[in-house]
């Protein structure tokens, strides 16, 4: 006789509440996936379009299926405050009624210091369980507040700080079946994940932009970035 499977109330709630899927929501960069609890890491220097790419991912997540979107709710943890909501709205080409529906499913959590960020991340699971339509969590960016955290808590490398932030997010979402995307400034060391990760490095050389994508293999895709981001495939 098999022993009974024991699960927590959180696990039961997550199992009974299926969230929208983001599979194939960004085929230009991610050929298969992303799947629940996977991460998308967007890295690059200043001015290469990290926040713009994140905006485009959020837009595709929010748009209803009949507008080639995924129709899911989104939580944005805004730490760098480069996310311009008015600019974001102009990226939509749909009617205002569609845009309003999208914005009604968009939760923005502004974090102005390292303590606010830590509290937000620790409460992320509760926020997600209270909003079962949310399928995408975005963080812009995990590098923010590093120096303040280091000043308050002692010497810590930026890589160790990034690992700490990502580890807290992983722990918070493990029962929630969401996809997480985050931006960060260029880093020499890779963050290790418990689940899958799609690494996207945005580069610029002489005014030419390219995205280097690494999951099961590596590919390089040129792009242009102005008000929106456009990949040349």
pLDDT in tens, 22-31: 999 999 999 8
The separation between CA 49 and the C-alpha centre of its own chain, rounded to angstroms, equals 14
pTM of the entire structure? 0.90
183 with 141: CB under 8 angstroms? yes
3-state secondary structure of 174: coil
Asked if the model's pLDDT at residue 169 lies above 60, the reply is yes
CATH 3.40.50.300 fits 35-198, yes or no: yes
**Which strands, in side-by-side order, build the sheet including 106-110?**
106-110, 73-78, 134-140, 179-184, 39-44, 197-205, 208-214, 218-225, 229-231
Domain parsing of the chain, residue ranges: 35-198
Read off the tokens for 165.
């932030």
Angle at CA of residue 187, ends 88 and 173, nearest 5°: 60
Q: If you count them, how many residues does the chain have?
A: 233
pLDDT in tens, 62-89: 999 999 999 999 999 999 999 999 999 9
Integer Cα distance of 134 and 117 in angstroms: 19
- The number of CA neighbours under 13 Å toward the Cβ of 16 is 8
In this prediction, residues 107-118 reach a mean pLDDT of 96
β-sheet bridge partners, residue 42: 183, 200
Residue 233, pLDDT above cutoff 90: no
Q: What is the pLDDT of residues 201-230, one digit of tens each?
A: 999 999 999 999 987 668 899 999 988 999
Cβ contacts of 233 within 8 Å, gap of 6 or more = 28, 221
Q: Calculate the average pLDDT of the chain.
A: 90
Question: Percentage of residues in the chain with pLDDT exceeding 90?
Answer: 78
Note the pLDDT of residue 223: 97
| The pLDDT of residue 53 | 97
The residue with tokens 């509760």 is 126
Question: Residue range 102-128: average pLDDT?
Answer: 96
C-alpha 220/C-alpha 30 separation (Å) is 12
Residue 30 Cα distances to 25, 175, 214, 218, 225, angstroms:
8, 23, 9, 11, 19
Question: Is residue 156 pLDDT above 60, yes or no?
Answer: yes
Predicted local confidence at residue 196, as pLDDT:
87
Compute the radius of gyration of the chain from its Cα atoms.
18
Where is average pLDDT lowest: 54-63, 89-98, 155-164?
A: 155-164
């Amino acid at each position: 006789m098999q022993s009974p499977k024991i699960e927590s109330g959180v696990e039961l709630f997550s199992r009974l509440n299926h969230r929208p899927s983001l599979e194939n929501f960004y085929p230009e960069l991610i050929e298969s996936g992303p799947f629940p609890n996977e991460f998308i890491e967007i890295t690059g220097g200043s001015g290469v379009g990290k926040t713009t790419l994140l905006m485009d991912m959020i837009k595709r997540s929010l748009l209803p299926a009949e507008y080639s979107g995924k129709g899911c709710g989104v939580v944005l943890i805004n730490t760098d405050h480069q996310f311009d909501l008015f600019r974001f709205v102009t990226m939509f080409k749909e009617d205002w009624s569609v845009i309003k529906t999208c914005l009604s499913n968009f939760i923005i959590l502004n974090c102005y210091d390292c303590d606010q960020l830590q509290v937000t991340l620790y409460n992320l699971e509760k926020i997600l369980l209270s909003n079962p339509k949310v399928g995408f969590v975005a963080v812009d960016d995990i590098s923010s507040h590093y120096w303040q955290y280091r000043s308050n808590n002692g010497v810590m490398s930026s890589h160790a700080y990034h690992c700490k932030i990502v580890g807290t997010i992983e722990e918070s979402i493990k029962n929630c079946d969401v996809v997480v995307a985050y931006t960060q400034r260029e880093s020499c060391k890779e963050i290790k994940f418990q689940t899958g990760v799609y690494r996207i490095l945005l580069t610029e050389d002489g005014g030419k932009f390219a995205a280097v994508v690494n999951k099961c293999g590596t590919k390089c895709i040129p792009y242009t970035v102005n008000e929106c981001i456009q990949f040349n495939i």
